[in-house]
Amino acid sequence: MHLHILGICGTFMGGLALIARAAGHKVTGCDAGVYPPMSTQLSEQGIELIEGFGADQLALAPDLFVIGNVVSRGNPLMEAILDSGARYVSGPQWLGDHVLPGQHVLAVAGTHGKTTTSSMLAWILEANGRRPNFLIGGIAPDLQVSARFDPQVDTFVIEADEYDTAFFDKRSKFVHYRPRTAILNNLEYDHADIFPDLAAIETQFHHLVRTIPASGRIVAPAGNEALDRVLARGCWSETVSFGTDGAWRAGPADADGAFAVLRDGQDIGTVRWTLGGEHNRMNALAALAAAEHAGVPAADGIAALSRFGGVKRRMELRGTVNGVKVYDDFAHHPTAIATTLDGLRRQVGQARILAVLEPRSNTMKLGTMAERLPGALQQADLVYCFGAKQGKQALGWDPGMVLAPLGQRASSFDDLDALVAAVSSAARPGDHVVVMSNGGFGGVHGKLLHALAR
């Protein structure tokens, strides 16, 4: 079957393209601004990429058009598809209909930590000889790629996003995955561009819970009010809790980051790694409980996590110049920003932290959570916020006014070069510069390292 994928350079759709190719299909695709690293991965697999969404691509005459959620009405190729009566389907539905049946699907959902927890879970299975299939929104160095599929393997780890499926299917992506094991990592308000309130997101999570069989397992944190409400609406599967009051708990981390894992009060082993932060310990507990449901004993899971190398763009050290460390982190929601900075503060003690922030997600650009930013940035000694005045990344609010409670610690910029100059001028040996964005941020990491070297 020939599939032509619209929006192919997105993480999910690009991963889906690699899976479709591995499943034996001919795959082509298009996107606006065909860009690496996904374009490189796809080209290496012999997948033809076309720049833009021209209506002339209808002449490719694929058996099926697979539509990503970046495509909306008015897109010229989509309009041509609709006019012609050609067959089309969303990416999540195609995956759910053609790849996931017959698989033990382990889905990782939640507002935060999906990519890291999915990577931990896939690595536990990989390290224990299971060679799982997976589709994850990032790349863990241990796994090397973001997506993999072998039809002979019957285990599939997937990052289960609550964002909507397509312009013609406003359900969350994860309702198409039909998991047997589901991690519900956490839940709070996000995606203000498609959800009016938290209750609307809870309804989508309830739809997900309804698809999990009685023989399945739901792994959820103890005491998360939103998830408690979701499960109270109906739950037909085994539930396993983690966290401070959960069945799975984490002991305090030592100076190197190692921590004991406790199940029902019993110490069952120690994860010896260098990853920092309470959030990573919680992610680890969830991954261990899910892997156990897939047949990996807890002790073997703990041993695997002790060899886990982290995930790109999750406090990834990009370089050290003249004693200044520059990190890249995906944090873009106030809770994630606060968690990232808290974890770094615990690692570096009294050393200065310079936070460089790009509020790039639709929720942050709308300003829905802007008022929470000063509190989220409290652990930073200096704050630099970037917001374009025009174009796709323009903010609907004034960073200077929003960050005013931080006083002289905070500065805002609408020119990237000016921001780089300000950060490199203020930085001194021993500082930690953490760049937080869910996008490329104009290559600011490299620009900072270059400026610091000068």
Q: Which positions make up the binding site?
A: 110-116
Q: Which positions make up the binding site for ATP?
A: 110-116
Q: Please, what sign has the CA dihedral across residues 433, 438, 441, 447? A: positive
User: Residues 71, 73, 79, 84: what is their CA dihedral angle, to the nearest 10 degrees?
Assistant: 90
Decide: 286 and 243 in contact? Cβ < 8 Å.
no
16: how many CB neighbours lie within 10 A of its CB?
Answer: 27
| Number of residues assigned to the chain | 454
Q: Which residue, among 350, 346, 358, has the nearest Cα to 448 in the 3D structure?
A: 358
DSSP 4: E
